[in-house]
């Protein structure tokens, strides 16, 4: 019954007007009905019915829309792993769409606070908490955590409230990383603040302070207007409002 309701025409029409595109959707309605009528006149059978209608009213744009943070961080990580070619890779809580693709060429273990229930070759999903990871100290040579650290301790995904969540998570990422191993990390950077309960934004110096055991190898940046700036100084992010800092770090060898 619930499945039927979710797929009803009323729900689909309601969803068409939710979110940030309300006015664009309303403005597109006349065109929608004109094209509905045009389509029905062109087919002899299988006429469009209201029951099966599924209005998508805000997708007719000039350029393909995308989220610069998630697009560029996925491209960045894929290229880094291609250069390093680790025997296996561990990711903590990043985009599942990105990790599913990376696992096609790199054996991947994926850990998330909310377990991912899938079966896929070359891919092992595990349930786990970033502040208490299920790995031995110094056991991972290739580790990523993209757009995750800023959420820890804010309760957004069901984790306990803890103002020190990001720092504790950073300590745990360092613990499991093997000497000589690499951490690929992304977080929001710019004017430092807590946007409760969505995320935190960090200054680059705060992020580097979290990882005293690691050496920064490269820093790249998605700036406030969505441009990707590869291998630049972390200071370039200091005056941003909401950028995405991409940190490639190496744990010092003992």
pLDDT tens sequence across 176-210: 999 999 999 999 999 999 999 999 999 999 999 99
Q: Are 81 and 141 in contact (CB under 8 A)?
A: no
Q: Are 95 and 70 in contact (CB under 8 A)?
A: yes
Considering the chain, what is the average pLDDT of its residues? 95
Q: Span 37-44, mean pLDDT?
A: 93
Q: How sure is the predictor about 20, in pLDDT bands with cuts at 50, 70 and 90?
A: confident
Q: Span 133-146, mean pLDDT?
A: 98
Domain boundary among 61, 77, 92: 61
The reply to whether 72 and 6 lie within a common domain is no
Q: Are 7 and 1 in contact (CB under 8 A)?
A: no
Q: Are 232 and 194 in contact (CB under 8 A)?
A: no
The reply to whether 38 and 15 lie within a common domain is yes
CATH number for the domain spanning 161: value is 3.40.50.150
What is the predicted pLDDT for the residue at 254?
72
Q: How sure is the predictor about 6, in pLDDT bands with cuts at 50, 70 and 90?
A: low
pLDDT at 1 over 50: no
The reply to whether 95 and 214 lie within a common domain is yes
The reply to whether 238 and 157 lie within a common domain is yes
Least confidently predicted of 3-12, 76-85, 187-196 = 3-12
The reply to whether 128 and 92 lie within a common domain is yes
The reply to whether 99 and 160 lie within a common domain is yes
Q: Which residue has the tokens 């990882």?
A: 211
The reply to whether 126 and 52 lie within a common domain is no
- Cross-strand partners of 108: 89, 123
Closest CA to 176 of 207, 145, 218, 217: 145
The reply to whether 9 and 45 lie within a common domain is yes
CA angle 234, 198, 150 (to 5 degrees): 35
pLDDT at 4 over 80: no
Q: Span 144-160, mean pLDDT?
A: 97
Neighbours of 225 (CB within 10 A): 8
Domain boundary among 61, 76, 95: 61
Closest CA to 55 of 23, 33, 75, 78: 33
Q: 29 to each of 20, 26, 32, 40, 114, how far by Cα in Å? A: 16, 5, 5, 17, 39
Dig out the tokens for 21 from the structure.
């595109």
The reply to whether 74 and 48 lie within a common domain is no
The reply to whether 30 and 102 lie within a common domain is no
Q: Are 111 and 124 in contact (CB under 8 A)?
A: no
Number of domains within the chain:
2
What is the predicted pLDDT for the residue at 21?
87
pLDDT at 104 over 90: yes
pLDDT at 3 over 70: no
pLDDT at 156 over 80: yes
The reply to whether 53 and 76 lie within a common domain is no
What is the predicted pLDDT for the residue at 75?
98
Closest CA to 211 of 133, 134, 145: 145
Q: Span 48-55, mean pLDDT?
A: 93
pLDDT at 232 over 90: yes
Domain boundary among 61, 82, 102: 61
Least confidently predicted of 1-10, 175-184, 191-200, 238-247 = 1-10
Q: Is 147 left (phi over 0), alpha (psi -120 to 50) or beta?
A: left
Q: Span 85-108, mean pLDDT?
A: 97
pLDDT over 90 percentage in the chain: 93
The reply to whether 199 and 101 lie within a common domain is yes
Dig out the tokens for 199 from the structure.
């995320």
Closest CA to 98 of 85, 115, 79: 79
Domain interval for residue 26: 1-61
């Amino acid at each position: 019954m619930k499945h039927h309701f979710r797929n009803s025409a009323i729900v689909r029409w309601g969803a068409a007007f939710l979110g940030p595109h309300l006015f664009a959707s309303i403005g597109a309605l006349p065109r929608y009905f004109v094209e509905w009528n045009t389509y029905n006149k062109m087919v002899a059978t299988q006429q469009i019915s209201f029951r099966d209608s599924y209005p998508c009213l805000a997708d007719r744009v000039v350029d393909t829309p995308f989220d610069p943070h998630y697009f560029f961080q996925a491209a960045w990580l894929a290229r880094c792993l291609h250069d390093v070619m680790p025997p296996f890779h561990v990711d903590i809580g990043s985009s599942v769409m990105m990790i599913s693709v990376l696992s096609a060429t790199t054996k991947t273990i994926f850990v998330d606070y909310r377990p991912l229930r899938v079966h896929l070759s070359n891919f092992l999903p595990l349930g786990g908490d970033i502040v208490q990871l299920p790995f031995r100290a110094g056991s991972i040579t290739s580790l990523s955590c993209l757009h995750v650290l800023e959420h820890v301790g804010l309760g957004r995904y069901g984790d306990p409230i803890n103002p020190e969540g990001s720092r504790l998570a950073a300590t745990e990422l360092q613990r499991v990383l093997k000497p000589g191993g690499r951490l690929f990390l992304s977080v929001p950077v710019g004017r430092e603040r807590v946007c409760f309960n969505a995320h935190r934004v960090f200054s680059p110096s705060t992020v580097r302070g979290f990882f005293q055991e690691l050496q920064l190898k490269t820093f790249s940046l998605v700036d406030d207007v969505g441009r990707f700036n590869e291998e630049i100084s972390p200071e370039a992010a200091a005056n941003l409002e909401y950028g995405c800092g991409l940190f490639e770090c190496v744990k010092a060898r003992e």
